[in-house]
A and B are shown apart, each in its own frame.
Chain A
Amino acid sequence: MGARVIAESVTKSYGGGRGAAGVDALLGVSLALEPGSFTALLGPSGCGKSTLLNLLGGLDRPTEGRVFVDGKDLATLSEDDRDAYRRKTAATVFQFFNLLPTMTALENVALPLLLEGVSLADADVRAARGLLDVGLADKEHAYPYELSGGQLQRVAVARALANEPALLLADEPTGNLDSKTGEQVLALVAGLVKERGITVVMATHSAEAAAHASRILRLRDGRLEP
């Protein structure tokens, strides 16, 4: 079951201490996302997409406003609860894949499961299934440097989905892939989340990528365009 996400007048400013003028990355952004929806945040670089994703993912706290996920105010979560939130509820896929270079594909996918306390045997089985789902059953023991960009992103998707999150945050997931591979990865993600009813928020500057979403929100200079 996907997560219900609500942002209320969220503002995020950086710097500005000691009398210096701060930079507003986000300004009064409000949105409501239904469970199982696939939303694209479309906008040029520096418009605040990643900042918004960081806030939704519990990596950062808003300067003003509140973010609710399934009714819980993320600002009220303790540090431990935020760790647990990232482990179980909100998973992220990045532009630069961000696999751990020192672990094999299987170990990368198994990592969130092990972090969650799943036994080693179960974690290995579930990670192998995850790799099978993204079409990489034969790459279990490959290290990241042995994989192509598309394969890396598919491993990253399998890792993100390993703990069956309710919310998937994708930050320019095709930004580092050629258009054909990007298309394939997006099609894969769209298929998997639909099957599982996961809520997806994808930040992108590409209109083609955004076309995979059921809803497109345009962000410019930290504000949502009407």
Chain B
Amino acid sequence: MTASSPGLRCGFRSLIGPLVLRPATKDRLRFLLTVSGIAVGVATIAAIRLANASVLSSFSDTVDFVAGKAGITVLADGPGIPEAALERLAWLRRAGATLAPAITETAAAGAADGEVVEVLGIDPLADAAAREYSFASEASDILSIFEKDSVLVTSVFAERNHLHPGDFLPLVAGGVERRFRVAAVLRPTGAARAASGSIVFMDLAVAQEAFGKVGRLDRIDVVLPPGLSGDDRARFEEEIRASLPPGTTAGRPERRTETVDRLVRAFRVNLSALGLIALLVGMYFVYNTLSISVLRRRTDIGTVRALGASKRSVFAVFLAEGLALGVLGSAAGTALGVALAKGALLLVGGTATELYLPSAHPALHLDPLVLLLAFTVGVASSVLSALAPALEAAGVEPAATMRHGSVEAARRRRTRPLALVGSALLVLAFLATRPGPLNGLPLFGFVSVFLIVSGVSLLAPAVVTFAAARLDRPALRLFGVEARLARANLTGSLSRTSVAVAALTMALAMMVSVAVMVGSFRTTVATWVGQTLASDLFLSPASGRSGPSFGRIPDEAIDLVRAVPGVDDVDPFLAFSATRNGVPFTVGSGLFAFIAKHGNLPLVDGRDTRVVFTEALGKDEAMISEPFAEKFRVKVGELVELPTDRGPVQVRVAGIYTDYSNDRGTVTLDRAHFQRLWSLAGASSVAVTLKDGVSPEEGARRVAAALRGRFALRVRTNATLRKIVLRIFDRTFAVTYALEAVALAVAVLGVFNTLTALVLERRREIGLLRVLGTSAARVKRAIRYEAAAIGGLGAGLGALAGGAMSLVLVHVINRQSFGWTIAMHTPWGFLAAALGLVLLATLAAASRPASLAAATDVAAALKEE
């Protein structure tokens, strides 16, 4: 018979009711659990991907709107494009192109803690040809920003901040507040749509002056003459590159989005991996539900087979059940995912923008492709999980006479081969930790984690059997005959119980490994913060609500702080962003003499910081951060190339210091050396040490008093900054805890599901136990012991697998993703509490099945055949 023959279709239609629909309606709880298991997995994946796509699309929108009609954009690869670059590109104007130079900055609007807003400094004469501006009032035009200290605001921003033409808008950047007059309001089209409307336009010269960028540009947008062929454009691009000064790059505007995508990729991959774990638990649910229904309907399947139903139609019926569960769960999950995406957007958006794009204002963008992908993944994985049970159903002989025991016995024979495959996977997991990252991602590390989870899951039946055999008699002596009943159930339904153990193992391993990883990371960071944050006070520009600071503290402010009575020493830190082969990193500077004096920057190789920094100072050498060394594979003694206005400069690396403040990687030079190369003034932040006898609080008060009214700087004491660092750390990892909690809850529900199913399956045996004189209380106890055994074995295996996974996470995945060396630190207290909680939850999950078992109608159960 072929798959499409009328017989199969007929068989399928007549079987779906008695074998699937009616039992499903009778067992609504399990049906709901299964559907919700898949839904949670699909929702997690959908939410993370939607949030991620929204962040990227908001960023690429901003890139597009700012780029306007530009075919080629010239960007700074360093502290800024020298204005002289415009002269070198003057030939473009003669060739019919337009050059629109611009300054892009960020500022806090209204007050030091106000809304973060993008600032675009433009040349009004050239810009109208490059970007689209549409004015709310016909009387206004772009030239209105020629008026002194005038800005154009978007209608969105104006409404939010109650601004009208003629009003004053204070903008705070680099620790200085300036007042601007609103010259006109822009309609939300063209450039006004960038950063979701949180953008202010001002004259180029005003922006250069306000942001300390006199003589420099951040970008030049080139609008090419119309009607160019692809070849012509390429030639233009080539010639533009040739005429650019050093420290600048030219290319299509969209490449910046690619850079951002690369930046948030590690973050996204980590979250998606967690989403996959949730889906894995969902798949377990489908497998569990279907294989239990196959087992419970063995007799029915045998009967319909005896009545002439083909193997194929039985197979199709159960696969269809998996498909239906998958479709329902995935549909619910996709809907839930959209709801969750808003929350995930805050997490992904919050963390990603904080780390990488301080001015992004991501709005939820419901990408139908993402939704379709999540839905498809959900359906496909549940059909995949339905395969084995469907095959098992198809294998039932007509008028099945096989008893439960013999079915299980056949499965028990698979224990050893499964254990062998499991062990082999563990060996492969170890081997997968050896290779380096692939395309910058720790893919082999993830493969290793996946292999550990799979390997340990396959070992679960062997472990259950082994533990049951070894512990039977001691447990019986300790806990009485109920322990033996529990043991008999555990091994008697090995295919069910070992899957429950495996699911719990997976969830716990995930929890343990992430807890160890986060714990290790946190301890390492706390130690590092303790070592490096040795100064008494830290000053940064007031930075609006988003947190990260922007703009530069002027030299006058630094001098003012240095002169405050009680201030001993001042270390200004100044940095800018550059790229190396398209990958961004930071060029920073500090006073090497200050670090040499305080010795507060630990070196990776353990050498004395004071000695190394003193030597580097004398030889004009650089220090690099560990992520930089990892990311670009640079060693001590090698040369790094840095972009300057005069062309690339090679600097020798004197040492590598530990740095957990960013994963981009930093090259740090002494301030004098740095200023010789880039002649930049000011500081991104300033560390201050106080004289003996001046308390940090008193010092902070004095510094704040000296700055008041002149500079908007944030002054933090050492203790406050440490607290903030750890608070940011904890908030960043809150999402991982939330996802773990989901996986764990689903696994505990799985234990409930398994136990309920097993109780229903064993009604007859329970009836028999009651006939033999077993009290209801003892039956309950036996079920609880069984749950405890499942919980205990899951916890034990989970702890072992989790331990192995945490090694991979810490030493392979983290190192390859971020370039950080982390010292292992196991949070024993947390783990003990968490494992205890899981055991309690497992026991709690057993209470309804136990009551169900105790309430078994003895005479009726024994009558069932």
* Chain B residues, Cβ within 8 Å of A144: 403, 405
Assess A96 versus B773: contact at CB under 8 Å? Given A101-B492, A102-B491. Answer: no
* Chain A proximity mask over B469-502: 1 for CB below 8 Å, otherwise 0: 0000100110011001000110111000000000
Let me know if B772 and A102 touch, CB within 8 A.
no
* Chain A proximity mask over B735-777: 1 for CB below 8 Å, otherwise 0: 0000000000000000000000000000011001111111110
Contact of A86 among B481, B489, B492, B772 (CB under 8 A): B772
Bound CA span A54–B859, Å: 7
* Chain B proximity mask over A94-129: 1 for CB below 8 Å, otherwise 0: 101010111100010001101110001000000000
Let me know if B488 and A120 touch, CB within 8 A.
no
Bound CA span A142–B350, Å: 63
Assess A112 versus B476: contact at CB under 8 Å? Given A101-B403, A102-B405. Answer: no
- B-binding segment of A66-74, A77-85, A198-206, A207-215: A77-85
* Chain A proximity mask over B848-865: 1 for CB below 8 Å, otherwise 0: 000000000011001101
Chain A min CB distance to B859 (Å): 5
Q: A83-B770, A83-B775, A146-B409 are in contact. List 14 more A-B contacts (CB 8 A).
A: A59-B770, A79-B776, A83-B773, A84-B773, A98-B768, A100-B768, A101-B404, A102-B493, A102-B765, A114-B480, A143-B409, A144-B405, A145-B403, A145-B406
Bound CA span A83–B865, Å: 24
* Chain A proximity mask over B763-798: 1 for CB below 8 Å, otherwise 0: 011001111111110100000000000000000000
Let me know if A83 and B859 touch, CB within 8 A.
no
Let me know if B765 and A114 touch, CB within 8 A.
no
Let me know if A145 and B405 touch, CB within 8 A.
yes
Task: Please tell me the number of chain B residues within 8 Å of chain A, measured between CB atoms.
Answer: 34
Bound CA span A22–B376, Å: 54
Let me know if B774 and A115 touch, CB within 8 A.
yes
Bound CA span A8–B480, Å: 39
Assess A107 versus B484: contact at CB under 8 Å? Given A79-B776, A102-B492, A120-B477. Answer: yes
Assess A115 versus B481: contact at CB under 8 Å? Given A83-B775, A145-B405. Answer: yes
Residue in chain B with minimal CB distance to A111: B772
Bound CA span A159–B774, Å: 14
Nearest 8 Cβ contacts at the A-B interface: A102-B492, A87-B773, A101-B405, A145-B405, A114-B481, A86-B773, A102-B488, A145-B406
* Most B CB within 10 A of own CB, among A98, A100, A144: A100
* Chain B proximity mask over A128-168: 1 for CB below 8 Å, otherwise 0: 00000000000000011110000000000001000000000
Q: List 16 A-B contacts (CB under 8 A).
A: A59-B771, A59-B858, A86-B770, A87-B773, A87-B774, A92-B771, A98-B768, A101-B403, A101-B404, A102-B488, A107-B488, A111-B481, A112-B773, A114-B484, A120-B476, A145-B405
* Chain A residues, Cβ within 8 Å of B764: 98
Q: Is A88 an interface residue (CB 8 A)?
A: yes
* Chain A residues, Cβ within 8 Å of B488: 100, 102-103, 107
* Chain A residues, Cβ within 8 Å of B408: 101-102
Let me know if A79 and B775 touch, CB within 8 A.
yes
Residue in chain A with minimal CB distance to B473: A120
Q: Is A36 an interface residue (CB 8 A)?
A: no
Q: Is A62 an interface residue (CB 8 A)?
A: no
Bound CA span A125–B480, Å: 17
Bound CA span A98–B409, Å: 18
Bound CA span A143–B404, Å: 12
* Chain A residues, Cβ within 8 Å of B480: 114
Q: Is A60 an interface residue (CB 8 A)?
A: yes
Bound CA span A85–B493, Å: 30
* Chain B residues, Cβ within 8 Å of A88: 773
Residue in chain B with minimal CB distance to A102: B492
Bound CA span A149–B764, Å: 18
Q: Is A57 an interface residue (CB 8 A)?
A: yes
* Chain A residues, Cβ within 8 Å of B406: 145
Bound CA span A203–B366, Å: 71
Let me know if B409 and A145 touch, CB within 8 A.
yes
Residue in chain A with minimal CB distance to B480: A114
Bound CA span A80–B776, Å: 9
Contact of B773 among A50, A103, A115, A146 (CB under 8 A): A115
* Chain A residues, Cβ within 8 Å of B768: 98, 100
* Chain B residues, Cβ within 8 Å of A87: 772-774
* Chain A proximity mask over B487-525: 1 for CB below 8 Å, otherwise 0: 011011100000000000000000000000000000000
Bound CA span A79–B768, Å: 16
Contact of B771 among A86, A114, A120 (CB under 8 A): A86
Chain A min CB distance to B755 (Å): 15
Let me know if A114 and B774 touch, CB within 8 A.
no
* Chain A residues, Cβ within 8 Å of B862: 94, 98
Bound CA span A116–B772, Å: 10
Bound CA span A94–B865, Å: 12
Bound CA span A120–B487, Å: 15
Residue in chain B with minimal CB distance to A83: B775
Assess A96 versus B865: contact at CB under 8 Å? Given A107-B484, A107-B488, A145-B409. Answer: yes
Bound CA span A7–B403, Å: 37
* Chain A residues, Cβ within 8 Å of B775: 79-80, 83
User: Which residues B648-704 have CB closer than 8 A to chain A?
Assistant: none
* Chain B residues, Cβ within 8 Å of A85: 773
* Chain A residues, Cβ within 8 Å of B473: 120
Contact of A114 among B476, B491, B776 (CB under 8 A): B476
Bound CA span A177–B704, Å: 98
Residue in chain B with minimal CB distance to A113: B481
* Chain A residues, Cβ within 8 Å of B773: 83-88, 112, 115-116
Residue in chain A with minimal CB distance to B481: A114
Bound CA span A144–B409, Å: 11
Chain A min CB distance to B780 (Å): 13
Let me know if B491 and A59 touch, CB within 8 A.
no
Bound CA span A85–B772, Å: 9
Residue in chain A with minimal CB distance to B863: A50
* Chain B residues, Cβ within 8 Å of A59: 770-771, 858-859
Residue in chain B with minimal CB distance to A123: B481
* Chain B residues, Cβ within 8 Å of A103: 484, 488, 492
Bound CA span A94–B492, Å: 21
Chain A min CB distance to B770 (Å): 8
Bound CA span A115–B865, Å: 26
Bound CA span A159–B772, Å: 9
Chain A min CB distance to B822 (Å): 46
* Chain B proximity mask over A183-196: 1 for CB below 8 Å, otherwise 0: 00000000000000
* Chain A residues, Cβ within 8 Å of B476: 114, 120
Bound CA span A86–B408, Å: 30
* Chain B proximity mask over A36-76: 1 for CB below 8 Å, otherwise 0: 00000000000000100010010110000000000000000
Bound CA span A116–B773, Å: 9
Bound CA span A146–B489, Å: 18
Assess A60 versus B859: contact at CB under 8 Å? Given A102-B488, A115-B774. Answer: yes
* Most A CB within 10 A of own CB, among B477, B488, B770, B771: B771
Bound CA span A32–B324, Å: 60
User: Which residues B797-854 have CB closer than 8 A to chain A?
Assistant: none
Residue in chain B with minimal CB distance to A96: B865
* Chain A residues, Cβ within 8 Å of B865: 96
Bound CA span A115–B772, Å: 8
Residue in chain A with minimal CB distance to B762: A102
* Chain A residues, Cβ within 8 Å of B492: 100-103
* Most A CB within 10 A of own CB, among B484, B772, B859: B772
* Chain A residues, Cβ within 8 Å of B769: 100
Residue in chain A with minimal CB distance to B768: A98
* Chain B residues, Cβ within 8 Å of A84: 773
Residue in chain B with minimal CB distance to A100: B765
Bound CA span A114–B486, Å: 14
Chain B min CB distance to A53 (Å): 10
Bound CA span A54–B863, Å: 11
* Most B CB within 10 A of own CB, among A85, A92, A98: A98
* Chain B residues, Cβ within 8 Å of A54: 859
Residue in chain A with minimal CB distance to B472: A107
Let me know if B484 and A83 touch, CB within 8 A.
no
Chain A min CB distance to B784 (Å): 17
Let me know if B772 and A101 touch, CB within 8 A.
no
